Amino acid sequence: MKHGGDLSEAIALYGGAIEDWLDLSTGINPEPWPVDMRLLTKALQRLPARADEKALADSARQVYQVPKAAGIAAAPGVQALIQWLPYLACEGDVAILGPTYSEHAQSWQRAGRTVIEISDINNLPQNIRHAVAVNPNNPDGHITPPAHLIACAEEMKRRNGWLIVDESFADINPSIGCASLCADLPIVVLRSFGKFFGLPGLRLGFLIANHQTASLFKTALGPWSVSAPALIIGAAALADHAWANASRAKLALMAQRLDDVLTAAGLKVIGGISLYRLVHHANAKALHEKLACQHIWCRRFDGFEDHLRFGLPRDDRNLSRLKEALSSL
């Protein structure tokens, strides 16, 4: 599987209709922020406005604790920003803390850059100029301590390079965010909107960096790069702090209940965050296929045949369905 979330692959291989499937292949909040359909309809009927862009940036600046001395570039998803990174960064090789989300390495490689995977951000190869860390990491949920990120960023400053910190899943633990450091250090932060707010189809993400770097990406993305619905709904959702706090509590509870089901079925939970759980199973590929035959789709990783990742079921009914499927294997 290249990515989770595409049931067309599952249906092509195992049949059924979309409504027959329990999709646990992503790390997306299964209980999304409640969109006011009147707000959506209104947004669809006009072009993005500068006032909408400012409102979104203001909401993001507050939520992500971005200082005035740093800039924000909104984009149609973090993936669009990942694609641009190697073309806007100065020349040089890149070290990626891994294993992690594969699109980072692939993006730099497609741009002709040399990519070196490292397992310790405190031990950077001498020949690299840029570094990438996903925090919390996907799929194991590992959190790199702030002190390690700061030390790496200071080294990148000496090398005239960037430290890119992909915080796509950091909304579940806001304390680990490092946007507050972007004004003084060459840190480029990526933030995803759709995962935590459960609205991936809206296609919205942010890049946070010093003003000069943020401006580079704004220019590259061009005008109207973010749709009016994404601007308006994004600003409203980011400003809904009560919903965000309640959602974090619900996700933590469901993650614990999911752990109980997985453990009872003989799977070993070896990592993850409250949006997804990583498990070990001696024959994960076969287990993935058996669940797929029951129209339950979890995330399998090529090259890691003993790992599976499970997203959160939306409710008790779906959790029970997974429990029953695992107990029948």
**What does the pLDDT look like over 89-139, one tens digit per residue?**
999 999 999 999 999 999 999 999 999 999 999 999 999 999 999 999 999
What is the rounded CA–CA span in Å between residue 209 and residue 225? 18
CATH architecture entry for 46-239: 3-Layer(aba) Sandwich (3.40)
Residue 4 pLDDT: 82
Q: CA dist 164 to 66, 108, 152, 261, Å?
A: 16, 12, 10, 36
SS3 label, residue 6: coil
Q: What is the CATH number of domain 7-32+242-327?
A: 3.90.1150.10
Residue 124, pLDDT score:
96
Residues of the chain with CATH 3.90.1150.10: 7-32+242-327
For 52, counting Cβ atoms within 10 Å of its Cβ (0-12 exposed, 13-18 middle, 19+ buried), the class is buried
220-247 pLDDT, tens digit per residue, is 999 999 999 999 999 999 999 999 999 9
β-bridge pairing 93-97 and 70-75 = unpaired
> Exposed, middle or buried: residue 285 (CB in 10 Å: 0-12, 13-18, 19+)?
middle
Q: Name the segment(s) of the chain with CATH classification 3.40.640.10.
A: 46-239
Residues 6 or more apart from 286 whose CB is under 8 A from it? none
SS3 224: coil
- The owner of tokens 């301590």 is 145
User: Mind listing the pLDDT tens digit for each residue in 148-203?
Assistant: 999 999 999 999 999 999 999 999 999 999 999 999 999 999 999 999 999 999 99
Query: pTM for the whole thing?
Result: 0.96
